[in-house]
Structure 1
């Protein structure tokens, strides 16, 4: 055992905030090393990381698909109708 006693608190909260940046490769090398070391020791944070990574992958895959033209046109018409109602209010 690594001796890491998981107690949810400031440390984990700090790492959980950095997970998003870690996933997007927006951390410097020292922060990446620190986050990876924490994930290696902290099961609950690793679970959150895996969930975030899965959600990010699903969203990325979904965003690469284009909506059918008729659906996009209907959505645009509804957006314009809402904009008109807002400006008339």
Structure 2
């Protein structure tokens, strides 16, 4: 095992904080300083790197799968459900 990627010096809460930022990091929605901090953490924490790789792969698969439009019947059912929820919210 590559000892440079061990996770011994990082507490679980710190990893949790970085993992919350991974989605924003993947989408390039973090400030450069935050991106640099996430990169450094990923370079030193194999468990977080694995979770990052998984999240990135899932986002890529979902993006490829979402390239075709939903069937008209499905779109109509979704829109009807949204309107029902909106009515309940405004009446509630």
TM-score relative to the length of structure 2: 0.69
Task: Output the CA distance in 1 between the equivalents of 2:61 and 2:27.
Answer: 15
Report whether the alignment pairs 1:58 with 2:61.
yes
- Distance of aligned partners of 1:31 and 1:17 in 2 relative to their CA distance in 1, 3 Å threshold: same
Among 17, 22, 25, the residue aligned to 2:25: 22
Q: Is the 8 A contact 1:6 1:42 kept in 2?
A: no
TM-score relative to the length of structure 1: 0.71
Q: Which has the larger radius of gyration?
A: 1
C-alpha RMSD of the superposition:
3.1
Q: Which sits farther off after the overlay, 30-39 or 57-66?
A: 57-66
Task: Output the CA distance in 1 between the equivalents of 2:19 and 2:75.
Answer: 36
**Unpaired segments of 5 or more residues in structure 2?**
none
Residue by residue over 1:35-67, the C-alpha shift from the partner in whole angstroms, topping out at 9 and shown as x without a partner, is 001001100000110111011011111111224
Report whether the alignment pairs 1:42 with 2:45.
yes
Paired residues in the alignment total 86
Superposition pairs for residues 65-76 of structure 1, below 5 Å? 65-69=68-72, 75=77
**Unpaired segments of 5 or more residues in structure 1?**
none
